[in-house]
Amino acid sequence: MAPRKASRPAAALADGEPRGCLAGRLDDNLAKPSRRESQASIVAEIEISHATRLRISLTSWKGARKVELRLYTATIPSVYMATSAVSGMNIGLRHIFPIIPLLAIFGAAGIWNLPLKRNILIGALIVLLSTHAVSSLHTFPNYISYGNELWGGPESVYKYLADSNTDWGQAQKLAGFYIKRTKPTSCFMIQAFNNSKRDYGIPCGSVSDLERDIPPLPFTGMLIVSSDIVDGVIPHAAGVRAARVFRELTPTAHVGGSAFLVYEGTFDLSPIASVQHVERVGADVHEPHAVLEEAKIAARLDPENALAYLRMCQAYLYLGQRDDAQSACNALLRAMKDDIYYGEGDRMRIVQTMTVNGLLVDPDLAH
């Protein structure tokens, strides 16, 4: 998985100026949204499927001549899956792909030895393979967000999975074709990755790792939104606060399977606009007044935007306005407390930095 582009941290300040992570590299230490939750259901389903296949095969593969083959195809996947299940790294289903061929051999041998007529087994195999082939061809070219018809097809995958399972920046070209075909009078794209609309001739405003357009408030027209935004897993587009905007809405169309969801109407995109205000200026200590102004706008648009208070705190410290810095830092702690993207360690770093710089921490926020 390619690493996401991090927001530009503030430059280190000279000796004698505000110290600690608020003056520099707090962003590099902030907790990133974990993917363990988004993958847990998949691993659980595979473990259940593997256990079921193991029981079928062990009870029915009685006529196998090679005991070694039976042990090989059963033991290695079991050990591999058990190791993966307790591993600290869980960033994708692809890490357990090596077990699938062995499970297929093990399961096929067991099923072949079930007390059923061979014609029935062969007929079932033909039906299953034919169904899989038709499903795969029907999905073309949206294989990243593939889901079979039991899941509701590619258009429903975003309801169960997120991130690289649905949108990995692969549907830009299809989005460009969709916009040219539908000719919306007003459009805006909210993307998850470092895509540029100019590469595909898309005439819409855009939010991505590379583009920081600020949408009109309120926005009326066509929204083309990455399913990762709808699922709330992208911090640079307000994370779960953006997900609330779309939670009760039904897409009017899908582009690239589950990659992009299309919505039409009038929308309050304040959380998304808020993040763009602070991301556009970063934490440039050479322009503290500009940083402060954008951060104040961001906080007004979205009072839950912790990054806005972080930028305010940094700017006030640089300008020597300690009372304002103290107020902004405490507001930051308050916002972080209710934000799933920040952990207790992040909050403690803010408390430590405030202490180093002689700022008082609100007792209710100290722990």
Q: In angstroms, rounded to a whole number, what is the distance separating the alpha carbons of residues 244 and 47?
A: 32
> Is residue 268 a contact partner of residue 218, using CB atoms and an 8 Å limit?
yes
Q: What is each CA distance from 54 to 46, 122, 281, 309, in whole angstroms?
A: 12, 21, 56, 54
Domain boundaries, the chain: 37-154, 164-273, 282-365
pLDDT tens, position by position, 28-71: 333 344 444 444 444 444 444 555 544 545 444 444 455 666 77
pLDDT of residue 3: 45
Radius of gyration from C-alpha coordinates of the chain:
26
The DSSP element (H or E) to which 280 belongs, if any, is helix 270-281
Name the token pair of 362.
């609100």
pTM (2 decimals)?
A: 0.71
pLDDT of residue 78: 86
> 282-365 maps to which CATH number?
1.25.40
> Is residue 261 a contact partner of residue 251, using CB atoms and an 8 Å limit?
yes
The two beta strands, 187-190 and 219-226, are parallel
- What does the angle CA 301 – CA 306 – CA 310 come to, to the nearest 5 degrees? 110
Segments of the chain scoring below 50 in pLDDT: 1-48, 53-54, 56, 58-64
> Is residue 6 a contact partner of residue 195, using CB atoms and an 8 Å limit?
no
Residue 285, classified by CB atoms within 10 Å of its CB into exposed (0-12), middle (13-18) or buried (19+), is: buried
Three-class SS state of 264: strand
pLDDT of residue 285: 67
SS (H, E, C) 21-44: HHHCCHHHHCCCCCCHHHHHHHHH
Residue 121, classified by CB atoms within 10 Å of its CB into exposed (0-12), middle (13-18) or buried (19+), is: middle
